[in-house]
Amino acid sequence: MAAAAEPGARAWLGGGSPRAGSPNSSPDLGSRGRARPGPGSGLGAGPERTGAKPSGPAALGHSFRKVMLTKPTFCHLCSDFIWGLAGFLCDVCNFMSHERCLKHVKTPCTGLAPSLVRVPVAHCFGSRGLYRRKFCSVCRKCLEAPALRCEVCELHVHPDCVPFACSDCRECQRDGHRDHDARRHHWREGNLPPGARCEVCRKACGSSDVLAGLRCQWCGVQAHTVCSAALAPECTFGRLRTLVLPPACVRLLSRNFSKMHCFRVSESAAPEPGEGDSVDGSASGGPGREAQAPESGKQTLKVFDGSDAVQRNHFRVITATRLARSEEVLEAALRAYYITGDPRNFELQALPTPGQAGDAGALRKAGSGGTLEEDGGRGPASREAAPEAWVIRALPRTEEVLKVYPAWLKVAVAYVSIRVTPQSTARAVVLEVLPLLGLQAEGAESFQLVEVLMGSRHVQRTVLEDGELLLHRLRDIRQASLWQMGQTRFYVAERRAAVPRVSLFVGGLPPGLSHPEYGSLLDEAVATKAGLATLSHVYSSQGAVVLDVTCFAEAERLYMLVRDTAVHGRPLTALVLPEVLHTRLPPDCRPLLVFVNPKSGGLKGRDLLCSFRKLLNPHQVFELTNGGPLPGFHVFSQVPCFRVLVCGGDGTVGWVLAALEEMRPRLACPEPAVAILPLGTGNDLGRVLRWGAGYSGEDPLSVLASVDEADAVLMDRWTILLDAHEAGGAENSLADVEPPRIVQMSNYCGIGIDAELSLDFHQAREEEPGKFTSRFHNKGVYLRAGLQKISQSRGLHKEIRLQVEQHEVELPSIEGLIFINIPSWGSGADLWGSDNDSRFEKPRMDDGLLEVVGVTGVMHMGQVQSGLRSGIRIAQGAYFRVTLLKATPVQVDGEPWVQAPGHIIISAVGPKVHMLRKAKQKPRKAGTPKEA
């Protein structure tokens, strides 16, 4: 009943705890029951039979033994070669070390890692992908087949290792019931970037040959495992501290919602490990991980860890000699499931066949001291009838020692240990624990016992009834799954009536409705309950609302129902939104709101989405294909100072700027500066602001650092009113006249030939979007469309009329008319030209003027983009009126359509928008030849 260790010794803090092998690995039993290393471990003929087992790392749960190496392998601590008899291998987690490095081992073994996690946080696994030169953090083997990666932290695992990954992800928010202490480093082991250097000794700490080295998931500091002890435990968020949204400033009641929902991660349609009839312990996995045919004199056995595994047919395979004793088989089965308890407290029961399921005597126990042959009788006939599937069971216990943790209570111990008897109830445990925590003065009625299951994908909390018997509860958990028992904790928590408040964003509704009309529409579509869900915000122009739900079950029901509902033929969008506690933000914090268009730049958009979630707080990264920019601006609406990063093409930037213009009256920071990471084809605005011609794989960390150092500049925004009407005969007009509409412009507006080429490209991309994954291919499509129209002549000057500042302007013979706001057009071309002209002012992007330029055809456009010519300067002004006499292609910032005959009015939109221009890199100072 004594208190446990001090708080300083309690927390691995989720930092890259290595865990043991995959469900498909096959521990091989020798004559003494020692596990030989599996395929790909770099080991040779087997263990050195010395029985040496150093006692130093025993506190971390490792079970080391000396091994004979016939080919060189690598130490997981120093990354150097190990050869001959100099290596020690952990039987459970495959941790390999020099003998001289054993005393420096600080990485806990798999069986112990869940108990050392300070705050259990589930992982957020995305879809499967191929990650070259990466290692599984569970079995420490190379990822040679498609694997899974956490979208929030650097955890890489094989699909069949997912159930054994402990819940040690980054804590990115408050869950509504805890004030955060000082932020500590969140260490993750291995998979460091190439060229990683230790922060302490400045030597290489990463390795592409082994899982080694540590990296903080918040500040990015890297170090050797041994050197990490010399670093201060507090994390300052490193280089990006002014851009990161601190976790203590985010609140989200995430009960009933997975991390995929909370972080708005697109869910994969692929079945998860352990789900479905075809997934078992011998089917999935990469090369060298599936069960292979046993050698002569050996047999393979299927092992389950409880009733749940039997029902799901999720087993692990071990290989044993036919003369192996039952104790040796039991030890191998416990190692396969990373169970570190005393083998004398467990037994193996033979799994009955379907024909024996009703036979009470079908379950046969592997008795102590016997062999597998003895269990099945002697002789060949009985040897063939020996069962090949076994279930590990815990022996009945009359009493048990239970660890009870304080749930966010201000106490000086990590946990207390008490003895549980058959008469111990949850209320009795609370009464016994409170004096040990120094809370005897508090009323026992104010506390309750909470059971927490630390699953790798979801952390589940259950409040136990006061009269529930703890010993029976533990027995039921072990009966279901022995591994689950190792991931179950019990907390003493205050009885506080939680006030649920979940914000649900609902998009895709018809625009232009009133507050009561949206309420009636949602009530009809998803049957919202008036007492539990209210409309807190209405964005009528964009057809979106935000619901405040005061019941977790109702919030989950509405979320799932909205995602499967369509209104007027349009599917609805549902997002779970966090709350930013803006009053807690540090004074120097200017969090970065990131928008990523995953459809831009081929696959680079999705890679950037994952990278930014790891470098920043995932709650500040939004995917534009999932609700657009409105949810992000709503979450940041009360932040007094923030900046925006848009990852996409010019059309994506215009989309975000238009949403910002509409949200400006509702923002506490009405003028957030906007940076660009160009992922499109033209990227003209990105070129002007020095962000480059297009993203080509730069380090995302350096991109964020450039955003932090960027300079704010002003840029004009323009309003274009499209007023279509019939203007002539029926052959020159559309059958249905379009209603007037308004679009916003930042870069340029084209009428005629350039819009026609953009329209052809847009239609080709809509038909086969999978082919448009590179800028080179996209420009090739543009070129091919231009060559097809090189001999065509439309005579645009005869089909339009132009007024500038109320004055009619006579147009020359042209095929295209372009209004430009920035000095870049058509992927970096200078359409206006650099020659001085006394008729016009020098163009600037913030002068309140637009330049009007004409092109005579495709050949002229090609010469402009080649730098051989410039366009035909026509006018410069702040107000324009264009009259279309017939249907004509029009494009605004790369978004084309066919405009019906009518009027186009272009004028200034109002306040200028603040953009971020990348700072010029300072030239390096000339140093000595040695430094160079």
pLDDT, mean of residues 359-388: 46
pLDDT, mean of residues 274-289: 36
Looking at the structure, do residues 901 and 802 belong to the same domain, yes or no? Answer: yes
pLDDT, mean of residues 286-307: 68
pLDDT, mean of residues 809-815: 90
Please state, in angstroms and rounded to a whole number, the distance separating the CA atoms of residues 32 and 506.
63
pLDDT, mean of residues 192-215: 88
Taking CB atoms within 8 Å and a gap of at least 24, the contacts of 40-44 are: 40/141, 40/142, 40/288, 41/73, 41/89, 41/94, 41/96, 41/141, 42/69, 42/71, 42/72, 42/73, 42/74, 42/96, 43/67, 43/69, 43/70, 43/73, 43/89, 44/68, 44/69, 44/70, 44/71
- Kindly tell me if the per-residue pLDDT of 924 is higher than 50: no
pLDDT, mean of residues 215-225: 91
Looking at the structure, do residues 440 and 467 belong to the same domain, yes or no? Answer: yes
- Kindly tell me if the per-residue pLDDT of 52 is higher than 80: no
- Kindly tell me if the per-residue pLDDT of 827 is higher than 50: yes
For residues 924 and 220, the model is more confident at 220
Looking at the structure, do residues 592 and 564 belong to the same domain, yes or no? Answer: no
Share above pLDDT 90 across residues of the chain, in percent, rounded to a whole number: 30
- Kindly tell me if the per-residue pLDDT of 97 is higher than 60: yes
Closest CA to 778 of 765, 766, 789: 765
Domain end position, chosen among 522, 549, 577 = 577
Residues in Cβ contact with 227 at an 8 Å cutoff, skipping those fewer than 6 apart:
198, 199, 200, 201, 205
Beta strand 502-507 pairing with 573-577 = antiparallel
Please state, in angstroms and rounded to a whole number, the distance separating the CA atoms of residues 746 and 824.
12
Q: Is residue 425 part of a domain?
A: yes
Residues 500/532, Cβ–Cβ less than 8 Å: no
What CATH number is given to the structural domain containing 345?
A: 3.10.20.90
Residues 120/131, Cβ–Cβ less than 8 Å: no
Report pLDDT for 801. Answer: 92
Please state, in angstroms and rounded to a whole number, the distance separating the CA atoms of residues 71 and 80.
13
pLDDT, mean of residues 549-564: 90
Looking at the structure, do residues 902 and 780 belong to the same domain, yes or no? Answer: yes
- Confidence at 323, pLDDT banded by 50, 70, 90: confident
What CATH number is given to the structural domain containing 553?
A: 3.30.70.330
Mean residue pLDDT across the chain: 79
For residues 772 and 36, the model is more confident at 772
Q: Is residue 11 part of a domain?
A: no
Domain end position, chosen among 365, 393, 421 = 393
pLDDT, mean of residues 824-844: 84
- Kindly tell me if the per-residue pLDDT of 540 is higher than 60: yes
Domain end position, chosen among 577, 602, 634 = 577
Residues 63/91, Cβ–Cβ less than 8 Å: yes
Please state, in angstroms and rounded to a whole number, the distance separating the CA atoms of residues 702 and 681.
22
Looking at the structure, do residues 520 and 665 belong to the same domain, yes or no? Answer: no
Please state, in angstroms and rounded to a whole number, the distance separating the CA atoms of residues 25 and 70.
21
Looking at the structure, do residues 746 and 882 belong to the same domain, yes or no? Answer: yes
Closest CA to 489 of 460, 468, 465: 460
For residues 10 and 679, the model is more confident at 679
Q: Which two tokens stand for residue 180?
A: 């955060």
- Kindly tell me if the per-residue pLDDT of 288 is higher than 50: no
Q: Is residue 882 part of a domain?
A: yes
Report pLDDT for 926. Answer: 39
- Confidence at 494, pLDDT banded by 50, 70, 90: confident
Burial class (CB in 10 A: 0-12, 13-18, 19+), 71: exposed
The kind and range of the H/E element at 312 are helix 307-312
Report pLDDT for 760. Answer: 79
Report pLDDT for 791. Answer: 63
Please state, in angstroms and rounded to a whole number, the distance separating the CA atoms of residues 535 and 484.
41
DSSP letters, 708-737, are HHPEEEEE--EEEEEEE---SSGGGS-SSP
pLDDT, mean of residues 577-587: 92
The b/e string for 853-874 (b: 16+ C-beta within 10 A; e otherwise) is bbbbbbebbbbbbeeebbbbbb
- Kindly tell me if the per-residue pLDDT of 709 is higher than 90: yes
Residues 745/893, Cβ–Cβ less than 8 Å: yes
Report pLDDT for 179. Answer: 53
Report pLDDT for 498. Answer: 65
- Kindly tell me if the per-residue pLDDT of 727 is higher than 70: no
Report pLDDT for 268. Answer: 54
- Confidence at 386, pLDDT banded by 50, 70, 90: low
The alpha carbon torsion through 8, 14, 19, 24 (nearest 10 deg) reads: 160
Report pLDDT for 817. Answer: 93
Q: Is residue 336 part of a domain?
A: yes
Q: Which two tokens stand for residue 571?
A: 């599917």
Closest CA to 138 of 25, 26, 300: 25
Please state, in angstroms and rounded to a whole number, the distance separating the CA atoms of residues 755 and 789.
12
| Residue where the block lists tokens 């609700």 | 627
Please state, in angstroms and rounded to a whole number, the distance separating the CA atoms of residues 338 and 733.
75
Which residue stretches of 742-876 are H helix? Answer: 753-767, 775-788, 858-865
| Residue 820 neighbours by CB distance under 10 Å | 22
Q: Is residue 157 part of a domain?
A: no
The conformation of residue 394, written as its DSSP 8-state character, comes to E
Report pLDDT for 774. Answer: 61
Closest CA to 21 of 288, 346, 216, 325: 288
Looking at the structure, do residues 701 and 822 belong to the same domain, yes or no? Answer: no
Please state, in angstroms and rounded to a whole number, the distance separating the CA atoms of residues 707 and 599.
22
Q: Which two tokens stand for residue 262?
A: 């909370």
Identify residue 645 by its one-letter amino acid code: L
Closest CA to 820 of 682, 645, 722, 694: 682
What CATH number is given to the structural domain containing 773?
A: 2.60.200.40
Please state, in angstroms and rounded to a whole number, the distance separating the CA atoms of residues 189 and 134.
12
- Kindly tell me if the per-residue pLDDT of 615 is higher than 50: yes
Looking at the structure, do residues 490 and 507 belong to the same domain, yes or no? Answer: no
The kind and range of the H/E element at 606 are helix 604-615
Looking at the structure, do residues 751 and 883 belong to the same domain, yes or no? Answer: yes
pLDDT, mean of residues 477-485: 90
Report pLDDT for 477. Answer: 92
- Angle, vertex CA 448, rays to CA 468 and CA 177, nearest 5: 140
pLDDT, mean of residues 116-137: 87
For residues 625 and 738, the model is more confident at 625
- Confidence at 777, pLDDT banded by 50, 70, 90: low
Closest CA to 240 of 673, 638, 707: 707
The kind and range of the H/E element at 319 are strand 316-321
The kind and range of the H/E element at 817 are strand 816-820
Q: Which two tokens stand for residue 914?
A: 């603040």
Helix-strand-coil split of the chain, %, nearest 5:
25, 25, 50
Report pLDDT for 575. Answer: 93
- Confidence at 736, pLDDT banded by 50, 70, 90: low
Alpha-carbon distance values, 382 to 372, 386, 921 (Å): 11, 6, 79
Residues 640/668, Cβ–Cβ less than 8 Å: yes
Report pLDDT for 14. Answer: 32
Residues 694/676, Cβ–Cβ less than 8 Å: no
For residues 95 and 660, the model is more confident at 660
Looking at the structure, do residues 565 and 678 belong to the same domain, yes or no? Answer: no
- Confidence at 419, pLDDT banded by 50, 70, 90: very high
Cα atoms in the Cβ-side hemisphere of radius 13 Å centred on 256: 16
pLDDT, mean of residues 289-310: 76
What CATH number is given to the structural domain containing 77?
A: 3.30.60.20
Q: Is residue 906 part of a domain?
A: yes
Report pLDDT for 363. Answer: 46
Residue 772 zone, left/alpha/beta (φ > 0; ψ -120 to 50; rest): beta
Report pLDDT for 243. Answer: 95
Please state, in angstroms and rounded to a whole number, the distance separating the CA atoms of residues 846 and 199.
45
Alpha-carbon distance values, 196 to 95, 191, 214, 462, 698 (Å): 21, 10, 10, 43, 16
Report pLDDT for 601. Answer: 64
- Kindly tell me if the per-residue pLDDT of 412 is higher than 80: no
| Residue where the block lists tokens 């495992």 | 225
Domain of 91 in residue numbering reads as 64-104
For residue 483, give the 3-state DSSP assignment.
helix
pLDDT, mean of residues 376-388: 47
Q: Looking at 26-35, 110-119, 881-890, which range is the least confident one?
A: 26-35
Single pTM value for the model: 0.83
Looking at the structure, do residues 703 and 764 belong to the same domain, yes or no? Answer: no
* 648-705 confidence digits (pLDDT tens): 988 899 899 999 999 999 999 989 999 999 987 778 899 999 998 888 888 899 999 9
Q: Is residue 151 part of a domain?
A: no
The conformation of residue 921, written as its DSSP 8-state character, comes to P
Q: Is residue 201 part of a domain?
A: no
- Kindly tell me if the per-residue pLDDT of 932 is higher than 70: no
Share above pLDDT 70 across residues of the chain, in percent, rounded to a whole number: 79
- Kindly tell me if the per-residue pLDDT of 871 is higher than 60: yes
For residues 679 and 412, the model is more confident at 679
The residues facing 197 across adjacent strands are 204
- Kindly tell me if the per-residue pLDDT of 436 is higher than 80: yes
HEC letters along 269-324 = CCCCCCCCCCCCCCCCCCCCCCCCCCCCCEEEEEEECCHHHHHHCCCEEEEEECCC
What CATH number is given to the structural domain containing 679?
A: 3.40.50
Looking at the structure, do residues 551 and 611 belong to the same domain, yes or no? Answer: no
Please state, in angstroms and rounded to a whole number, the distance separating the CA atoms of residues 892 and 825.
12
CA 761 to chain centre: 32
The count of domains in the chain is 6
For residues 415 and 372, the model is more confident at 415
The kind and range of the H/E element at 121 are none
| Residue 777 neighbours by CB distance under 10 Å | 13
- Confidence at 473, pLDDT banded by 50, 70, 90: very high
Report pLDDT for 641. Answer: 94
| Residue where the block lists tokens 């705890």 | 17
